[in-house]
C-alpha cells in the first residue's frame, strides 16, 4: 500500500509537468483517497497489534489457568482414587457388619419372640390374677357388708338383751337381797336364785316366795317369745344319803328335778313359748364358790335361768361368711 502511494506521488509529480490539469486533479484525488485509506489501515493495524497483544496476554492467562485446572484435576483424580479406595474399604466393612448385624438381628428377633411369648403368658396370668382379685374384692365387699349387717344384728341383740336385763331387774327388784341376782355376761342374761329362795333342803318343790319370783320371770319371757331359756339346777358337793323326798339318787338327779320344777312354773304362763324352755341338771360340777365353807356351799346351791337370744339368723350369716 505504501509503495502504491509513493508510486502515485511520483506519477503525480511527473504528470504535473506534462499532463493536463484535469488528469492532475484526478490523480491528486486518488492520492488523497489512498492517503486516507493508508491512515485508516495504519489505525486498523495499530488496533490489530493491540488486539494481538491482548490476545497473547489472554492466551498466556488461559494457558496458566489451564495448567492450574489440570493440576487441580490431577489432585482431584488422586483424591477420587483415595476416596474410591476408602469407599471400597467401607463397603467391605459394611458388608461384614451387615452380615454380623443380620446374624445378631436374627438372634435378637428370636430372643424377642421368646420374650414376647413369656410376656403374653405373664399378661394372661396377670389378667387371670386380676380377674381373681376382682372377684375377691367383690366377695370381700359383699362379705364386709354381711359383716356389717352381722355386727348391726349382734349390736341389736345385745341392746335387746340389755333391755331384757333391765326389765328383769325391775320386775325382780323386790327379791334383791333374798338370794336373787340379775346380770349380763357373754351376750346372755342370767337370773341366779339361791336355793334358800326356792327350795327346802333335799326338796324340789318351789316355795311360795320363790314361785312369785319365777312367775315374774315368766311374765317377762311372755313378752319376749324369741328368747331361748335354759334352766340349770346346781347343788353343793354333799352326797345324797338314804331316800329323800321320794327317792333322789344323786345331786345330779336333785338338780335336774329342781330345774324341771322351775320349767313347769314358767310353762303355766300361756304366753311363754314352751319350745324355748330347756331344763338341765348340773349337780355339783359347776360350782361358783368353794365347797369347803358353808357360805360357799350356799352359793353353789342355786338355780340359774339363762336367757339367750335366738341366734339362728346370726349363725346362718356366720356360715355364709
List per-block mean pLDDT (blocks of 10 residues) for the chain, which spans 321 residues. Answer: 55 57 82 84 83 80 82 81 80 78 78 86 88 84 75 82 92 89 92 93 91 96 93 92 67 94 96 95 95 94 93 56 59
Say what the pLDDT of residue 120 is: 86
Structural domains in the chain, sorted by start: 172-320 (3.30.1330.60)
Contacts for 287 with CB less than 8 Å, ≥ 6 apart: 234, 236, 237, 296, 300
What are the backbone dihedrals phi and psi of residue 293, each rounded to the nearest 5 degrees, phi first?
-125, 160
Separation CA 286–CA 158 (nearest Å)? 26
**What gap in Å lies between CA 76 and CA 179, rounded to an integer?**
130
Whole-structure pTM value: 0.56
Grid cell 476416596 is found at: 83
Q: Quote the pLDDT of residue 1.
A: 57
Lateral strand order in the sheet of 188-194: 180-185, 188-194, 302-309, 227-234, 277-283
pLDDT for 104: 76
Alpha-carbon distance of 201 to 205, in angstroms, equals 10
- d(Cα 172, Cα 260) in Å, to the nearest integer? 21
CA distances from 122 to 117, 118, 130, 220, 319 (A): 9, 6, 12, 66, 36
Which of helix, strand or coil describes residue 204? coil
13/17 Cα distance (integer angstroms) = 7
Give the ranges where the chain is alpha helix by DSSP (H).
2-18, 21-171, 195-198, 208-222, 251-267, 294-300, 312-320
Residues in Cβ contact with 122 at an 8 Å cutoff, skipping those fewer than 6 apart: none
Say what the pLDDT of residue 314 is.
56
Burial 33-60, CB ≥16 within 10 A → b, else e: ebeeeeeeeeeeeeeeeeeeeeeeeeee
Question: Rounded distance, CA 55 to CA 15, Å?
Answer: 46
For β-strands 277-283 and 227-234, DSSP reports them as: parallel
Burial of 266 (0-12, 13-18, 19+ CB in 10 A): buried
Residue 92: the pLDDT is 77
pLDDT of residue 271: 94
Q: Are 254 and 286 in contact (CB under 8 A)?
A: no
Question: In this predicted structure, what is the pLDDT of residue 40?
Answer: 84
Query: 231 — alpha (psi -120 to 50), left (phi > 0) or beta?
Result: beta
Cα separation, 277 vs 274, in Å, equals 5
Collapsing DSSP to helix, strand or coil, 154 comes out as helix
Q: Which three cell numbers stand for residue 188?
A: 346372755
> In the prediction, which pLDDT does 18 show?
57
HSE-CB of 282 using CA atoms within 13 angstroms: 19
Q: How many other C-beta atoms lie within 10 A of the C-beta of residue 78?
A: 10
Amino acid at each position: 500500500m505504501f509503495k502504491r502511494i509513493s508510486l502515485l506521488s511520483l506519477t503525480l509529480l511527473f504528470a504535473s509537468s506534462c499532463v493536463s490539469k484535469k488528469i492532475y486533479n484526478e490523480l491528486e484525488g486518488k492520492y488523497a483517497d489512498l492517503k486516507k485509506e493508508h491512515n485508516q489501515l495504519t489505525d486498523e493495524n495499530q488496533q490489530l497489534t493491540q488486539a494481538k497483544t491482548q490476545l497473547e496476554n489472554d492466551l498466556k492467562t488461559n494457558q496458566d489457568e489451564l495448567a492450574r485446572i489440570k493440576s487441580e484435576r490431577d489432585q482431584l483424580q488422586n483424591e477420587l482414587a483415595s476416596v474410591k479406595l476408602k469407599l471400597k474399604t467401607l463397603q467391605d466393612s459394611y458388608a461384614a457388619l451387615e452380615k454380623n448385624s443380620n446374624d445378631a438381628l436374627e438372634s435378637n428377633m428370636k430372643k424377642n419372640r421368646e420374650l414376647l411369648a413369656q410376656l403374653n403368658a405373664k399378661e394372661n396370668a396377670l389378667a387371670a390374677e386380676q380377674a381373681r382379685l376382682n372377684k375377691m374384692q367383690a366377695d370381700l365387699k359383699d362379705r364386709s357388708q354381711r359383716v356389717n349387717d352381722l355386727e348391726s344384728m349382734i349390736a341389736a341383740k345385745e341392746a335387746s338383751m340389755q333391755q331384757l336385763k333391765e326389765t328383769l331387774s325391775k320386775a325382780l327388784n323386790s327379791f334383791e337381797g333374798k338370794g336373787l341376782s340379775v346380770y349380763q355376761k357373754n351376750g346372755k342374761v342370767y337370773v341366779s336364785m339361791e336355793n334358800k329362795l326356792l327350795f327346802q333342803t333335799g326338796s324340789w318343790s318351789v316355795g311360795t316366795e320363790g314361785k312369785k319370783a319365777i312367775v315374774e320371770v315368766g311374765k317377762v319371757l311372755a313378752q319376749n317369745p324369741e328368747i331361748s331359756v335354759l334352766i340349770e339346777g346346781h347343788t353343793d358337793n354333799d352326797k345324797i344319803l338314804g331316800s329323800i323326798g321320794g327317792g333322789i339318787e344323786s345331786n345330779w338327779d336333785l338338780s335336774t328335778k329342781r330345774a324341771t320344777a322351775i320349767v313347769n312354773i314358767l310353762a303355766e304362763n300361756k304366753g311363754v313359748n314352751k319350745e324355748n324352755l330347756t331344763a338341765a341338771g348340773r349337780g355339783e360340777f359347776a360350782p361358783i364358790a368353794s365347797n369347803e365353807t358353808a357360805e360357799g356351799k350356799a352359793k353353789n346351791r342355786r338355780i340359774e335361768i339363762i336367757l339367750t337370744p335366738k341366734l339362728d339368723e346370726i349363725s346362718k350369716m356366720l356360715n355364709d361368711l
